[in-house]
Structure 1
Amino acid sequence: MPMKPLFLQSLLLAAATAKNAIDEYVETPEPAFKWFDTGARVKTLGGTAHILNVTSLQWMTEAEAVGPTGALWTHQVAVVVPNGPVRHTLALSVMTGGCNEGPPKPPAPNDEYLALAAALGNRTGAIAVVIYQIPNCHIVYPSDPRKVPRSEDAMIAWAWNQFLTRPEHNPMWLPRFPMVKAGFQCMKAVEQYTAKFGLASIDGWAVGGASKRGWTTWMVGATECESCVTIRALFPLVPIVPNLLQSVHLQRQSLGGLTFAFRDYLDADINKYMDLPIFDLLLDYVDPVSPRYAKQLARLPKFAICSSDDEFMQFDWTALNNSWTTAMPGESHLLIAPNSEHSLATAIPEVLESVLAFVDSVASGAPTTARPTFSVLKDKVTGTITVTVPTGAPVPSKVYFRTGQTASERRDFRWVRMANNETGECSVAHGEVPLAPMEGGGNCLVPRFWAKDALEPHRSSQGAFTYTATPPMPTKPGHFVGYYIELFFPSLAAHASYMFSTPGYVWPDTLPFPDCNFSTCPANLL
């Protein structure tokens, strides 16, 4: 790796020795902060959602970024109050997206995130909150030659471009900062609202969100802010990080390019910087694997959920060194939801039940030792994985070995790919289903089913339980088998089990494409 320029070395040193920039940013008071009760109410399963409108912050100025309300960020916040008594002082927060155009309006009763929060709140007896418009959109950047209204990844990608290319490398250009602060501000508004009207006394939060909000969930937990609400647990869903750079290199070696889902970042030329020292600085600010965030994350129970067939991230990213289970200090749990893609739409029952068990345990004040724990070893020669549940720890009620196989000689487990001249046509004869192009260009459904086989335990003389599974060879030469072990444990929550899994692995553990430096290798999407 080339030596870092002296200027970048000094920036990294300053970032490593000073108070974290995100801590200072989140703790800085926002004169624009305010909220009001819209008066709208939405009936939910077992409760009622009170709809607040929150102005959370001002992000830079209109000279840099212009949103629906100029530089101000506003949010609809649904506060779900259960019909029965509020049994816990822990509240649940689910961050999600959506744009701000048009007058504020309440979410529909069938809104999926409102339904998720309502179900969690109803079954735990806690206040459950949905925070919308994280981040605000659409955003127009005056520095953007195209001046196009941007949302989601496109909004983030151009801001990253400005952080990387402007000489001051100001971290305020990183949308993760205002996304995190907006989450804190909206939770503060909910605490003020529920206290004012005697609805609840909240003394802590379990925070979750999906995709970009899953990433933001990590960073909410990583932020140290004495004047902010108290974070007590995290449940990020399909969060893409930690350890982004190593992960995308693995994707390049697995697919021969990058997934179509990253199109917005390639359109903003982010790939050209990914192996340059300046990208290290970007990730030092916003990747939770950064050592600067270890102390904060270590204090929190964490439960990450990813999907087996995600079009953004690979399930085997969870097995990388210095990633998911290994990079997250303190109590950390993982679930790979089988037979699901990035939206997790086909895994709602598993997600709801497992998050419910986890959150209910934290809300009830159960110590870390009351929740399941196990260790995982992988034999590099045979691929065999061995799970050991230590003596005295909760014993699983069911254990399964999950396996799935690729449809091609690429190490590709996505349900959706982009059929083109490089990857080949979408072949109905091979079981694929042509799709109308989705965002990013995915146009081919590749159905896949992950089989499961029950595993029986071996009990040692010391009382530990072990479960062992060896991956089969793929049925077609050159293809790959994905595999992992999932474990179900009883929980204190009614009709809910903990559902955890090992990291995900691939056999044969070989990579079909060479690695390359992103500043020079082709920017091909697959």
Structure 2
Amino acid sequence: MEHTWKFWTSVAVILIFASVFSALLFGQLDLLEYVRYSGTPSYKVISSFSSLVGGRSFVLEVTSQKWRNMDWIHKVLVYIPRRLSFKSHAIVVINGSAPRDLTQSVNQFVTIAELLGAPVVSLWDVPNQPIFGLREDALIAYTFYQYYQSGEPDWPLLFPMVKSVISTMDCVQEFLQMQGLRVEKFLVTGASKRGWTAYLVGAVDPRVMAIVPIVYDNLNMPKQMRKQLEMYGKFSEQIRDYSRYSFTEMVATSEEIPDLVRAVDPYFYDIPVPKLLILGSNDPYWVVDSSEIYFADLSGPKYIRVFPNEGHDIRNVTEIVNSIRAFFLLCVGESFPTVDWKFDGEDFIVKTDSQVEFARFWYAYSESLDFRKSTWKSFEMGMEHVVQTETGEFLIRAKPNDFLIKDKNLAFFVEIGLIRDGIAFVVTTTPKVLRIK
């Protein structure tokens, strides 16, 4: 009986490994399987130095994986502030190609680390590039094309990009433990395709306590591509690298959701971790109300902050830092304000359970449905627009129809300043478009 049990146990183990390797060999796209079976990371300490305010910086070189027979190597800056308020939580900032001298970039991370009293990890070289003579979107699009040409499931570049972050968290945990810090949870943030990566890291790694994707407004790709055709009459020029391989057209016209889209589009994952979306109102990559397509479907605590008159490179870095700081504190304290909104065709009503400090109605006009070059203006909503109910909730009421003008489409959103447990937190609604009647 014991020999029989051992035999079937061995068979079960063989079948498990066979299923894993067959998935990797014969085309089943699975991000989690890639992350698990793409190698063990390693790191070495390159240098260390102190900041002017007394914090300590360490430069690590992390080898995150071997992808397509290429070692992926990353420069990682770990900053430990002078006064530590949080020893088990850290922030990971995902960046592109590293500068030659990382010490020149440390100041931008010192501010948030010292404000919070938490370690900040700046991960560079996501993705490693150039590869095949290509960078950024051109490189990602090429790997999508190669997947469709070969069927080999490790081709999509988002897979090794996600693995880069997870491997770095592994290495940083080990390194910080030697510094007397046992970090268990991470807030992960990044911009553009690094924001895309942050979503996917949040989908597969339980150490992620929250994500702050910046200027990635492209969840639910099939609807996004169709919306671009509807509003622009063509795909945005900013995603031409994907159009070059007909990926955008394929996504827009497929009756079924392509397997690649399901594998790399965060919309098709359950990501329950708290999330703060930071977007620019004039981002040329997307349509003005892209977030309307997916925001309501996101699970878990979720917030959005749209920066008016900002594009894909948001210049108001100070306010981005303030937003991340406030969100980090709310997440650590697990104190999440509720913010909901609805439009009944007449009144646009925002409801929250937190104290309202201010409210602004932002609006812009366009003769077409292209608002990328529109100028946004604000209407300061006095406290007469804010009502506290008997249950203690606050209602902010706006009248978008009052801002309609002849022969112009109107785009708008509401910005509100909240106070939650003494923490100032600024959020907005998703932008909405009222079309010419």
Shift of 1:466: 1.2
Shift of 1:458: 2.1
Shift of 1:267: 2.1
Residue 327 (structure 2) pairs with residue 350 (structure 1): no
Give the secondary structure class of the aligned counterpart of 1:233. strand
In structure 2, distance between residues paired with 1:311 and 1:108: 32
Q: Choose which of 331, 343, 346 in structure 2 pairs with 1:378.
A: 343
Q: Choose which of 260, 268, 283 in structure 2 pairs with 1:282.
A: 260
Residue 159 (structure 2) pairs with residue 181 (structure 1): no
Is the CA contact (8 Å cut-off) linking 2:48 and 2:56 kept in structure 1?
A: no
TM-score (norm 2): 0.87
Is the CA contact (8 Å cut-off) linking 2:91 and 2:119 kept in structure 1?
A: yes
| Matched residue, 1:249 | 226
Give the secondary structure class of the aligned counterpart of 2:267. coil
Tell me which amino acid in the other structure corresponds to 1:175: L
| Matched residue, 2:20 | none
Q: Choose which of 159, 162, 182 in structure 2 pairs with 1:201.
A: 182
Residue 347 (structure 2) pairs with residue 362 (structure 1): no
Tell me which amino acid in the other structure corresponds to 1:394: S
5+ residue gaps, structure 1, are 1-13, 62-70, 141-148, 415-445, 511-526
Write out aligned runs for 1:167-246 (5 A).
168=151, 170-198=152-180, 200-224=181-205, 230-246=207-223
Write out aligned runs for 1:434-445 (5 A).
none
Shift of 1:175: 0.9
Give the secondary structure class of the aligned counterpart of 2:328. helix
| Matched residue, 1:334 | 304
| Matched residue, 1:11 | none
| Matched residue, 1:41 | 49
Is the CA contact (8 Å cut-off) linking 2:166 and 2:205 kept in structure 1?
A: no
Once the two structures are superposed, what CA deviation does each residue of 1:343-394 show, in whole Å capped at 9, x if it has no partner? Answer: 111x22221111110102223xx22xx3221221112x34x311122xxx32
Q: Choose which of 232, 244, 248 in structure 2 pairs with 1:271.
A: 248
| Matched residue, 2:288 | 315
In structure 1, distance between residues paired with 2:102 and 2:308: 29
| Matched residue, 1:470 | 399
Shift of 1:341: 0.8
| Matched residue, 1:435 | none
Is the CA contact (8 Å cut-off) linking 1:334 and 1:503 kept in structure 2?
A: yes
Is the CA contact (8 Å cut-off) linking 1:45 and 1:115 kept in structure 2?
A: no
The structure with the largest helix share of the pair is 2
Shift of 1:29: 5.5
Judged with a 3 Å threshold, the aligned counterparts in structure 2 of structure 1 residues 256 and 473 are, in CA distance, closer, same or farther, namely farther
Tell me which amino acid in the other structure corresponds to 2:35: V
Judged with a 3 Å threshold, the aligned counterparts in structure 2 of structure 1 residues 312 and 46 are, in CA distance, closer, same or farther, namely farther
Q: Choose which of 369, 375, 400 in structure 1 pairs with 2:360.
A: 400
The structure with the largest strand share of the pair is 2
In structure 2, distance between residues paired with 1:90 and 1:279: 37
Is the CA contact (8 Å cut-off) linking 2:225 and 2:248 kept in structure 1?
A: no
Tell me which amino acid in the other structure corresponds to 2:426: M
In structure 2, distance between residues paired with 1:173 and 1:278: 21
Give the secondary structure class of the aligned counterpart of 1:178. helix
In structure 1, distance between residues paired with 2:143 and 2:342: 41
Tell me which amino acid in the other structure corresponds to 1:265: Y
In structure 2, distance between residues paired with 1:248 and 1:44: 48
Most deviating of 347-356 and 302-311:
347-356
Q: Choose which of 136, 160, 169 in structure 1 pairs with 2:144.
A: 160
In structure 2, distance between residues paired with 1:195 and 1:466: 46
Give the secondary structure class of the aligned counterpart of 1:137. coil
Residue 41 (structure 2) pairs with residue 51 (structure 1): no
5+ residue gaps, structure 2, are 1-22
In structure 1, distance between residues paired with 2:130 and 2:148: 22
Give the secondary structure class of the aligned counterpart of 2:83. coil
Shift of 1:255: 1.4
Tell me which amino acid in the other structure corresponds to 1:336: V
| Matched residue, 1:411 | 369
Give the secondary structure class of the aligned counterpart of 1:246. helix
Once the two structures are superposed, what CA deviation does each residue of 1:88-130 show, in whole Å capped at 9, x if it has no partner? Answer: 310100101116xxxx843252x3xx44432221111100011
Is the CA contact (8 Å cut-off) linking 2:301 and 2:336 kept in structure 1?
A: no
TM-score (norm 1): 0.73
In structure 1, distance between residues paired with 2:292 and 2:53: 38
Give the secondary structure class of the aligned counterpart of 1:273. helix
In structure 1, distance between residues paired with 2:339 and 2:405: 33
| Matched residue, 1:131 | 123
Give the secondary structure class of the aligned counterpart of 1:411. coil
Judged with a 3 Å threshold, the aligned counterparts in structure 2 of structure 1 residues 261 and 54 are, in CA distance, closer, same or farther, namely same
Judged with a 3 Å threshold, the aligned counterparts in structure 2 of structure 1 residues 398 and 307 are, in CA distance, closer, same or farther, namely same
Tell me which amino acid in the other structure corresponds to 1:267: R
Is the CA contact (8 Å cut-off) linking 1:209 and 1:236 kept in structure 2?
A: yes
Shift of 1:492: 5.2
Is the CA contact (8 Å cut-off) linking 2:217 and 2:291 kept in structure 1?
A: no
In structure 2, distance between residues paired with 1:123 and 1:182: 27
Once the two structures are superposed, what CA deviation does each residue of 1:130-161 show, in whole Å capped at 9, x if it has no partner? Answer: 10011110010xxxxxxxx1010000011111
Is the CA contact (8 Å cut-off) linking 2:95 and 2:190 kept in structure 1?
A: yes
In structure 1, distance between residues paired with 2:184 and 2:391: 41
Is the CA contact (8 Å cut-off) linking 1:405 and 1:474 kept in structure 2?
A: no
**Which gives a bigger RCO, structure 1 or 2 (Cα 8 Å, sep 6+)?**
1
Shift of 1:473: 6.7
Tell me which amino acid in the other structure corresponds to 1:258: F
Judged with a 3 Å threshold, the aligned counterparts in structure 2 of structure 1 residues 223 and 306 are, in CA distance, closer, same or farther, namely same
Give the secondary structure class of the aligned counterpart of 1:397. strand
| Matched residue, 1:301 | 274
In structure 1, distance between residues paired with 2:432 and 2:214: 19
Is the CA contact (8 Å cut-off) linking 2:278 and 2:305 kept in structure 1?
A: yes
Judged with a 3 Å threshold, the aligned counterparts in structure 2 of structure 1 residues 44 and 128 are, in CA distance, closer, same or farther, namely farther
Is the CA contact (8 Å cut-off) linking 2:209 and 2:274 kept in structure 1?
A: yes
Is the CA contact (8 Å cut-off) linking 1:403 and 1:450 kept in structure 2?
A: yes
In structure 1, distance between residues paired with 2:378 and 2:228: 24
Tell me which amino acid in the other structure corresponds to 1:153: D
